[in-house]
Amino acid sequence: MNDAVVWLTIFVLSVFVGIEVISKVSSTLHTPLMSGANAIHGIILLGAILVTGTTDSGLALAVGLVAIVLATVNMVGGFVVTDRMLQMFTRRKPKAPAGSTEGGAA
C-alpha cells in the first residue's frame, strides 16, 4: 500500500475522532482545555525556536521561521479566545435606573 494513502487514512480518522471528542466536551470545560492547549502551544513555540537556532541550512531556517510565526499566532490567538471565554463568566454590574442621579443631590 502506498505511504501517502496510509498517512491520508490516519489523518481522516484522526479528524473524525477529534470532532467526536470535542463535541462531547461540556461548555464549562472548554476554558480549562484551552488553557492546556495554550501551554502545549508554548512548548511547540519553544521547540521551533530551539530547532531553528541550531540549523545551518537556508531552507530549514526559512521553514523554521514560518513555524515560529505560525506557532506564535496560534498561541496568542488561544490566549485571546480564552480571555473572551472567561469574560462570559463574569457578572456585570447592574445599570443605574435612568431617573436616578448620583451624589444624592436632587
Backbone angles phi, psi at 60, to 5 degrees: -65, -35
The structure's pTM equals: 0.56
- List Cβ neighbours of 20 (8 Å cut-off, separation of 6 or more): none
Distance, CA of 29 to CA of 39 (rounded, Å): 16
How open is the CA angle 68-11-29, to the nearest 5 degrees? Answer: 70
pLDDT along the chain (106 residues), means of 10: 86 89 75 76 89 91 92 86 78 72 57
- Per-residue pLDDT at 100: 61
- Per-residue pLDDT at 84: 81
- Per-residue pLDDT at 36: 77
Distance, CA of 63 to CA of 65 (rounded, Å): 5
